[in-house]
Amino acid sequence: MELEKILSKLSPEEQVFVSGLIDKDPLTGVYNRRKFDRDIELVVAMSDRMNRGTSLLILDIDHFKRFNDQYGHQKGDQVLREVTRAIENSLRYYDQIHLYRYGGEEFVVIIPDITPTDSFNIGDRLRKNVKEACGITISIGISHYRESSDDLQSLLNNADKALYEAKRRGRDQVVIFEES
């Protein structure tokens, strides 16, 4: 049975509650990949309509597998929650609604109506604040819809390429994708 059919049988309050369970990552409390996949299409469509740019930041905790192997998964889960809080505390209130746990130790932030330079500054603030609050480092790749990406797939691919470039450069870095 489709999710919409199931939700339609619930009261509005129950719909909100169940949607929250479906769309939130139970460990960190932020939105999950499922919600991201729906939201990114909407944000990009709005960006087209408003003729403004949108940045996509992919954040990855550096050497997280090694951390989990050394300290155990319970400590790893604690670190994921701490990193989430540090990211949330570093974002403007209205950007916190676009924070997602993308998978494992990766997070994604969508920032609408922003320039590449401003998104780099936000990424660098996130990187510094996570390091200060949690004692670990993150790498961040940024792609900008309008400047370096002209469709949803290239936005995702280019942010991923920038993330790998940040790791290649030694981690604990922010890199904006640029055409070579």
For the purposes of burial, counting CB atoms within 10 Å of the CB of 151, is it exposed (0-12), middle (13-18) or buried (19 or more)?
A: exposed
Instruction: Say which of 14, 41, 82, 105 is annotated catalytic.
Output: 105
Q: Which residue has the tokens 């510094």?
A: 128
Tell me which H or E stretch contains 103: strand 99-103
**Cα gap 61→48, rounded to integer Å:** 31
Whether 105 is catalytic is yes
Q: Please count the residues of the chain.
A: 180
Q: Label residues 121-142 b or e (16+ Cβ within 10 Å = b).
A: ebbeebbbbbeeebebbbbbbb
Residues whose CB falls within 8 Å of the CB of residue 136, separated by 6 or more in sequence, listed in order: 61, 62, 67, 79, 83, 130
Active site residues: 105
